[in-house]
Amino acid sequence: MKNGHKSTQVVQSLDRALNLLEKLVEAEEPVGVTELSQSLSLHKSTVHRLLSTLCYRGYVEQDVKSNNYTVGLKLFEIGSSVLHKMDLRSKVKPYLEELMRETKETIHLGILDDYEVVYIDKVESSEVIRMYSKIGRRVPTHCTSLGKILLAYSPEEVTDQMIEQKELTYYTETTITDPVELKKHLEMVKEQGYSIDDEEQERDIRCIAGPVFDYDGKIMAAFSISGPVTRMTEERVQKLSQLVVDYSGRISASFGYKK
């Protein structure tokens, strides 16, 4: 253990697999089973089992010529994804803060993960009455402004798979639970460039969201303005729609996106 304290909750096989991965990451060239066995103080058969599983999952690859092992592309994919999200948050944060100051409402930044929305950042409203949320929270896609804008600009098969794997749960009288109606609604969202959650997930809460595109024109995230219906009236939401479209263009441009 890196911190010098071995927790009683540690799963031994996982701990060994991670130690093995770290050895391969540190190595400048592919490493053999014997060397790994000695450096980790593990039996060769144990090392073989761990390597077989890691190879199956793409975290480790076997060199064809030497039969030794090195890290696989899966680790690079994960590392790139983490760095990408860190860069995304730091780059978008000033815009979120500016948008909160302009609207006085809670601003969220979310991404699509496993057909759900994950909040990866937020700027809290300065008002006393505000929407409850926290970074890391997962919310459904079919009834949230973030989810609908993320689906609208994703390939159609993403929506199909979401409908197949996730239930279109009913939350309020305005929740869209019919797949055909949802798809039609998403077409409208894409046309107008923003989405509205009209008390679809939570009563008394309205949200409006816009997309964040990368340099290649692919949606990478979405941001939203959320607040109670007492402030987020239908008239105000319509006025905020142009603000959302403007910020969507500005934020996306910072990633190299051009219309």
Helix axes 145-152, 179-192, angle to 10 degrees: 80
Please name the residues in contact with 178: beta carbons below 8 A apart, sequence gap of 6 or more.
Answer: 168
Q: Give the whole-angstrom CA distance, residue 210 versus residue 241.
A: 9
List the structure tokens of 27.
């190595």
Query: Would you say 52 and 85 are in contact if contact means Cβ atoms under 8 Å apart?
Result: no
Q: Give the whole-angstrom CA distance, residue 185 versus residue 180.
A: 9
Query: Would you say 194 and 208 are in contact if contact means Cβ atoms under 8 Å apart?
Result: yes
Specify the DSSP class assigned to residue 174.
T
Verdict on whether the full-model pTM lies above 0.75: no
Burial pattern 222-236, b for ≥16 Cβ within 10 A else e, equals bbbbbbbeeebeeeb
Question: Would you list the DSSP string of 116-155?
Answer: EEEEEEEE--SSSS-----TT-EE-STTSHHHHHHHHTS-
CA 217 to chain centre: 18
Helix (H, G, I), strand (E, B) or coil at 72: coil
Number of Cβ within a 10 Å radius of residue 127:
14
pLDDT at 129: 61
Angle at the Cα of 223 from the Cα atoms of 110 and 233, rounded to 5 degrees: 125
Fill in the amino acid letter for 144: T
Each of the 259 residues of the chain gets a pLDDT tens digit; together they read: 444 455 567 899 999 999 999 999 888 889 999 999 999 999 999 999 999 999 999 999 998 888 999 998 888 778 767 656 667 888 999 999 999 999 999 999 999 998 999 999 999 887 656 566 778 889 999 999 999 999 999 999 999 999 999 989 999 999 999 999 999 999 999 999 999 999 999 999 999 999 999 988 999 999 999 999 999 999 999 999 999 999 999 999 998 888 7
Query: Would you say 220 and 213 are in contact if contact means Cβ atoms under 8 Å apart?
Result: yes
Helix (H, G, I), strand (E, B) or coil at 190: helix
Taking Cα atoms as reference points, which of 76, 69, 30 lies closest to residue 51? 69
Helix axes 12-26, 44-57, angle to 10 degrees: 80
Residue in the block written with tokens 């039996």: 43
